[in-house]
Structure 1
């Protein structure tokens, strides 16, 4: 089942997002309810399809986890039924994103959901890049890299010299290193992968190198979410 992370979620719920304190339970999409989200123009969701979605709190929804890494712990994994493209908005999205109406079928916190995944060595692979010099992993071509420790998990994010944006959520267990969630964005598209995969060989080498090179990430804004 394909995983999507919407460009942003609709703010039509009546919540005052400028308030100094926001209750998390008031803004997480509720099971059985309908909501709206904006997707890239290239994301052609089919009415009637069931999809997986990553929901992020407001700051990371707008700016990404790298700007507010603590919000990874408050992000959720949703399963949703696609009702269809919403009616034209009075104020169209700035970059032509499509607004879809969704019915939420299930909702759980992202990190516990990732930790509970069974190990599958073939669930996904780090994406490679081909060149005249041969093939190499995108994580071996880092221009900048950041890391944060969130509830015992390591979050890595990076930009490469080949215009790719990369993200990983990792778990260390003894001498073993597991990848749980991977994001690869480049001019060719956006790819989200999920599954408990033990990193070995070349994949482990490039990830461990990235961890050593990465700059520590800090929240860019004061905490504002409460349960």
Structure 2
């Protein structure tokens, strides 16, 4: 049987996987405690954000925990949170600080580690900084779901959000912050809705004793996923947050506790 090579090449050209199915999420590192570089100032009552934010073109010595799976030399994106949220989580009293969180883009170099303390050390040269929610527009649409699955005894799996407890939510204008806990794992999503379809822009999987995975993405939930997350949203309680009151856009409150 003869094969027409032109037709064969044409088949692969027109039947290749769509580009949005190949797109990967932007992985973030988030265990660097930037507040440790300006500890006293991080506890002041009201702080100008620029006085805390790491500066572009500067190089900083940083420390990451060993559950940062994506920590390696080269290009990196690191999440910067206001001190209270950095030390306690967005879910602790101040989810509005998501609006004043940033992504720092730069280069990691000079790696070293402390095996006993489970820590990684790098130099981080900052090339650019951008508000987290502005950075959402950097992500291309993907078909790779950011929802994590739990393996079952019978070999099947189910979404981790299905078993999540302590569900909370907070409105962020056009976005919704959703958080919960499954076993010893904190879960976070930031979503938007377009034409009645939910889109995930931020997803964090933060287990106590395993690898973190924090990502910026652009993923529209499929039918089953949307039903699940809508159910989770319906069960979640609204978070109260008055911390944004009486503050200018360039100000934050300092940390209250750790």
- Classify the TM-score, shorter chain: 0.7 to 0.9
Q: 2:211 aligns with which of 160, 173, 189?
A: 189
Q: Is the contact between residue 67 and residue 212 of structure 2 (CA under 8 Å) also seen in structure 1?
A: no
In the alignment, the residues of structure 1 paired with residue 110 and residue 184 of structure 2 have an alpha-carbon distance, to the nearest angstrom, of 32
Q: Is the contact between residue 9 and residue 38 of structure 1 (CA under 8 Å) also seen in structure 2?
A: no
Deviation track 1:95-131 (CA, whole Å, cap 9, x = no partner) reads 6544432110111111121145332223x43111111
Pairs aligned (count): 218
- Where does residue 193 of structure 2 map in the other structure? 172
In the alignment, the residues of structure 2 paired with residue 199 and residue 27 of structure 1 have an alpha-carbon distance, to the nearest angstrom, of 36
Deviation track 1:57-81 (CA, whole Å, cap 9, x = no partner) reads 1111111111210110011111121
Deviation track 1:15-73 (CA, whole Å, cap 9, x = no partner) reads 622222100111111110122333113447434x1111111111111111112101100
Aligned Cα RMSD in Å? 2.6
Q: Is the contact between residue 15 and residue 27 of structure 1 (CA under 8 Å) also seen in structure 2?
A: no
Change (3 A) 1:223 1:62: farther
User: Is it true that 1:131 corresponds to 2:157 in the alignment?
Assistant: no
Unpaired runs of 5+ residues, structure 1, are 89-94
- Where does residue 224 of structure 2 map in the other structure? 202
Q: Is the contact between residue 21 and residue 224 of structure 1 (CA under 8 Å) also seen in structure 2?
A: no
Q: Is the contact between residue 74 and residue 109 of structure 1 (CA under 8 Å) also seen in structure 2?
A: yes
- Where does residue 41 of structure 1 map in the other structure? 66
- Where does residue 162 of structure 2 map in the other structure? 140
Unpaired runs of 5+ residues, structure 2, are 1-25, 251-258
- Where does residue 76 of structure 2 map in the other structure? 51
Q: Is the contact between residue 10 and residue 36 of structure 1 (CA under 8 Å) also seen in structure 2?
A: no
Q: Deviation above 4 Å: which 4+ runs of structure 1? A: 85-88, 220-226
In the alignment, the residues of structure 2 paired with residue 151 and residue 27 of structure 1 have an alpha-carbon distance, to the nearest angstrom, of 25
- Where does residue 79 of structure 1 map in the other structure? 105
Q: Secondary structure at the match of 1:118?
A: coil
Structure with bigger gyration radius: 2
- Give the TM-score normalised by the residue count of structure 2: 0.75
In the alignment, the residues of structure 2 paired with residue 12 and residue 127 of structure 1 have an alpha-carbon distance, to the nearest angstrom, of 33
User: Is it true that 1:215 corresponds to 2:237 in the alignment?
Assistant: yes
Q: Is the contact between residue 24 and residue 225 of structure 1 (CA under 8 Å) also seen in structure 2?
A: no
